[in-house]
A and B are shown apart, each in its own frame.
Chain A
């Protein structure tokens, strides 16, 4: 089974702090995604990547950046966290025989005070 691991399940940060959310997948998938999940808004795509060192903006990229230095790792960065970035962040990978199917990590719940 594809495994997508988000290293931090719960984080509490202060306004203005730099925040790193890490995601690692172990099935050599080409594509990786970061979504944000908020009540009543569903999942909204922040950034995605189709290859190493590649990145594409999703629907709500403002206030975020990403890094993909290795195929298995896709990091989401909040350069200066704000309270409106308090949310659940979900990482997913996609590729191989299950094309188009996303496999999700367990999520990282971020609270910005």
Chain B
């Protein structure tokens, strides 16, 4: 069965600092990987996805993520965070096609001035 681990429940960073959110997955084949963001009181919005090809993928809002097969990881990065990036971030894995996704437990990001 597929699974996702987000080891950091809560991260606090200063505005303008760099960010890395960790995601490790367990899946038997080549995974489809996603990062979603949820602002307070809202649904989830897709930040970026990896299906195949270049292992460094660019997303919206200046985010990027790198797929590392050897480490079963798909970490999310941003070089300089903005106060508006404060939200909860979810990593997800799927089997491809129109299959259901499995989500991690989320990482809550707090930005301090």
Q: Which residues of A contact B100 (CB under 8 A)?
A: 33, 45, 48, 58
Q: In the complex, which of the residues B9, B49, B92 contacts A40, with contact meaning CB atoms closer than 8 Å?
A: B9
- Quick one: CB contact mask for A21-53 with B, threshold 8 Å, 1 for yes? 000000000110101000011110100101000
Give the Cβ gap from A54 to chain B, nearest Cβ, in Å.
12
- Residues A91-113 near B (CB distance < 8 A): 92, 94-95, 99-107
B90 close to chain A: CB less than 8 A: yes
> Bound state CA distance, A100 and B32, in angstroms?
8
Q: Could you show 7 A-B contacts with beta carbons less than 8 Å apart?
A: A35-B103, A90-B44, A99-B97, A100-B97, A102-B34, A104-B43, A105-B43
A residues near B (Cβ < 8 Å) are 4, 6, 30-31, 33, 35, 40-43, 45, 48, 50, 58, 90, 92, 94-95, 99-107
Other than A35-B103, A100-B101, A102-B44, give 11 A-B pairs with Cβ distance below 8 A. A6-B43, A33-B100, A92-B44, A99-B97, A100-B49, A100-B94, A100-B96, A101-B49, A102-B101, A104-B43, A106-B42
